[in-house]
Amino acid sequence: MIDPSPPDLLAAIIGASAGSPIDRIRRERPDIVRHTQGSHDVLLSPQDPGGVSPAERALIAWRVASLSGHAGIAAHYRAMLDQRDKALVDAVPDARLATILDHVVRLTTAPGSATRAHIDALRATGLTERDIVAVSQLVAFVAYQVRAAAGLALLVQDPAA
């Protein structure tokens, strides 16, 4: 079991131990490491969550990671969700949350299929512009995180000789 809130989540997920070849490479890219973690932190635990609660944010991230098939990242967000609101795991979503989750699935699996009507539907549930941007950023971040982890894990398993 990995630390539930490691200071460098991506390193924990791919198993990049301190001093390893991939760790040394990542240290050459400190802004990427810092702002990958920073994006995670502000999207999952913002100072002001606005209209999308911290538990809902964990649910959304868990859904994206699960749909993407990344067990390690999904486990991270599931643990976060369990801690924030365990009941949300199996709850039948109300109309508002169902509209949000439909959009989350669309962004994850068919990003080219979104239309203005989908944004209008989110607004009709009471989401503000900021909430809609935050949901989009969250889905887009987890899509990034899954590919960064899947690609960099290869360099953990098989570093250059």
Residues that bind another protein (CB under 8 A): 21-22, 25-26, 28-29, 31-32, 34-36, 38-39, 42-43, 46-47, 68-70, 103, 106-107, 111-114, 116, 118-120, 123, 128-130, 132-134, 136-141, 143-148, 150-155, 157-160
Between 91 and 154, CB nearer to another protein:
154
Least Å distance between CB 143 and another protein?
4
d(CA 9, CA 70): 14
Question: Is there a contact between 104 and 65 (Cβ–Cβ < 8 Å)?
Answer: no
Least Å distance between CB 158 and another protein?
4
Least Å distance between CB 91 and another protein?
25
The token duo for 41 is 């932190």
What are the residue ranges of helices labelled H in 8-128? 9-14, 21-27, 30-44, 54-68, 71-85, 95-109, 116-124
**Residue for token pair 């209209």:** 51
